[in-house]
Amino acid sequence: MTNDIKINDIKEMEKYFSNNLKSPLFPILADLYYEKGDYVRAHKVCQIGIKANPNSTVGYYILAKISLIKEELIKAEELLLKSIALEELNLNSMKLLFSVQIELDRSKSVIKKNVDKIIVLDNNNIDCKKWLEDNYKYDFKSNTQKNKITNKKSKGNNKKTEDSIIEIKEKVVKKVEKKEIKKDNIKINDALASMTLFNIYKSQGYYEQALNVLNILKKKDSKNKTIQQEIDILIELIRKM
């Protein structure tokens, strides 16, 4: 039972993972290795974990970060795109993909597809707003209209983007409704709560458990804007379930 171990303890997670190689919780151990700077072990854990859990968006996200450490930008881009394809509201992967695609000098149209989605989910993202202002003449300073655009064509594109995000959210909800959610055996408390655990729950469709984790994290860091953004997304998804 994973509720008998401390998931932030690398030794205990190593023991747990060695006895549960197919566990979907493998990203927790991989992330612990990554934060420690042990990228070889982090990569190995992800390889083993993804073999048993091919839809682990968090696993692909960690592999992408490892690829960036190795300066393998194209590989990182591929992994992030796969992570986002598996979970279309994956804000972490979207943000990292934004940086990677700029570094790879991708076309404006390619970058904009991702940037538009980020802005809808994270309307205060300074880097993305700056990019849109520089490349598409967006006017975010206008008080009369959110994300006001200086030409009609851009306005139309922005409206389409917002509509597409709504469609994406509806798709996610439908997937959850069709999925039989099993009871997870982790008892969430202050010691276990982490963004990695949240991302695992979210990627698997355990939205209520994910929200519980975020609420615990918010108590620890009430000014963290990322936590509040994720809470808002989850609340909307849960309401539609």
Beta carbons within 10 angstroms of residue 88's beta carbon: 17
- Residue among 207, 154, 162 at smallest CA distance from 184: 207
pLDDT at residue 121, as a whole number: 85
Of 237 and 142, the one with more pLDDT: 237
Over the chain, what is the mean pLDDT? 80
Quote the pTM value.
0.71
Residues 60-115 have pLDDT tens digits of 999 999 999 999 999 999 999 999 999 888 889 999 999 999 999 999 999 999 99
Residue whose token pair is 């048993």: 52
Residues 177-215 have pLDDT tens digits of 444 334 444 555 565 577 888 888 887 777 878 888 888
Q: What residues contact residue 141 under an 8 Å CB cut-off, 6+ apart?
A: none
Domains of the chain, start order: 2-240 (1.25.40.10)
* Tokens coding 171: 């798709």
Of 101 and 167, the one with more pLDDT: 101
In terms of Cβ atoms closer than 10 Å to its own Cβ (0-12, 13-18, 19+), residue 57 is: buried
pLDDT at residue 228, as a whole number: 86
pLDDT surpassing 70 at residue 174:
no
pLDDT surpassing 70 at residue 160:
no
pLDDT surpassing 80 at residue 119:
yes
Kindly report which listed range (106-115, 131-140, 154-163) carries the lowest average pLDDT score.
Answer: 154-163
Residue 138 — φ and ψ, nearest 5°? -65, 150
Most confident region among 1-10, 15-24, 103-112, 145-154 by mean pLDDT = 103-112
Q: Are 195 and 180 in contact (CB under 8 A)?
A: no
Q: Are 43 and 62 in contact (CB under 8 A)?
A: no
Report the pLDDT averaged over residues 224-237: 82
Report the pLDDT averaged over residues 44-50: 96
CA separation for the pair 186, 176 (Å, rounded): 20
pLDDT at residue 173, as a whole number: 45
Of 122 and 148, the one with more pLDDT: 122
Of 216 and 102, the one with more pLDDT: 102
Beta bridge partners, 139, equal 148
pLDDT band at 129 (very low <50, low <70, confident <90, very high): very high
Residue whose token pair is 């469609």: 167
Q: What residues contact residue 186 under an 8 Å CB cut-off, 6+ apart?
A: 2, 3, 7, 25, 192, 197, 209
Kindly report which listed range (55-64, 89-98, 161-170) carries the lowest average pLDDT score.
Answer: 161-170
pLDDT surpassing 60 at residue 162:
no
pLDDT at residue 145, as a whole number: 45
